Amino acid sequence: MRRTLFSMTMLLVALLTAQGLAAQKKGAGVLSGVVLGPDDRPVSHASVSYQSSAGMAPHAVHTDSQGHFTITKLRSDNYDLRASGKGVFSEWEKNVTVRSGQTKSVTLRLIYAKEIPKAYTKSKAKQ
């Protein structure tokens, strides 16, 4: 009788723990998006810096070959993001709200530089 009661208790604890872990995974938010250059083309391997809007825990990810990025496992909070690539920076995208279980999408445009790098200047046709 004691073994049965003990086994049932252990099974119940295991089930509740598994259910709690599944709920935590569902609760994370996701930020995804694309980084575009001054020429409005996706920027591969650009850096995307992000932190909570309170300035806590800065992190960075990089875009893929198509200019896309994904940041997973975010707590519900407001985040600030900025991209950089090939010597050009975006404005700060401030107070992007991320909620548990949701994906928020943003587009970051690289627009600031001391001068536009040659990688982004269009060659003019000879006349």
Distances (CA, A) of 23 to 16, 20, 26, 96, 102: 11, 5, 5, 23, 13
| CATH class of the domain at 24-115 | mainly beta
Angle (CA) 45 46 49, round 5°: 130
Mean pLDDT for all residues in the chain: 81
Does pTM surpass 0.85?
no
Asked if pLDDT for residue 96 goes beyond 50, the answer is yes
What is the model's pLDDT at position 24?
Answer: 45
Q: How confident is the model at residue 10 (pLDDT cuts 50, 70, 90)?
A: low
Q: What is the DSSP string of 73-118?
A: EEPSEEEEEEEEETTEEEPPEEEEEE-TT-EEEEEEEEEE-SS--G
Tell which wins on pLDDT, 27 or 76: 76
| Domain-wise residue ranges, the chain | 24-115
Cα(109)–Cα(105) distance, rounded to whole angstroms?
13
Tell which wins on pLDDT, 88 or 123: 88
